[in-house]
Amino acid sequence: MKTYTYYPKGTCSVRMDFTLDDEGIIRDFSVERGCNGNLKGIRSLIIGEKAESVISRLDGITCGMKTTSCPDQIAKGLKACLEGCLEGVEA
C-alpha cells in the first residue's frame, strides 16, 4: 500500500491524502479543510472502492459557479496517483 498527497486547486480543501493498495483499491482517504460533513460522507462511500470506479463517478462534478469541486478534485487526485504523477510513500 502507498499513501499519496494531492493539493487540490479551486476548492476550499487544501490537501487530500489517498492510501491505495496494489490493486488500486482506496484503503484510506483524508482531507484538510473543506465541507466537513460532505467530505466525511464521500470518504465513507469511496473507502473499499477501486480508484477507477470513483474517478468515473466524480470526474467533472462542479460546485456552484466553479468549474471544479471537491469530488472533481478527488477524481483528479486519484488519476494522478494511478498515472504515477504523485510520489507515494509506503503505508
CA proximity to 26, closest of 41, 43, 39: 43
Report how far residue 27's alpha carbon sits from residue 51's, in angstroms, rounded to the nearest whole number.
10
Which tens digits make up the pLDDT trace of 3-54?
Answer: 999 999 999 999 999 999 999 999 999 999 999 999 999 999 999 999 999 9
Number of C-beta neighbours around residue 75 at 10 A:
21
Q: pTM for the full model?
A: 0.94
- Cross-strand bridge partners of residue 90: 2
Q: What mean pLDDT comes out for the span 52-59?
A: 98
Q: State how far the Cα of 44 lies from the Cα of 39, in Å rounded to an integer.
A: 9
Q: For residue 20, what are the β-bridge partners?
A: 2, 26
Return the pLDDT at 87.
87
Model confidence band, residue 91 (pLDDT cutoffs 50, 70, 90): confident
Position 67 confidence tier, pLDDT thresholds 50, 70, 90: very high
The whole-number pLDDT of residue 71 equals: 96
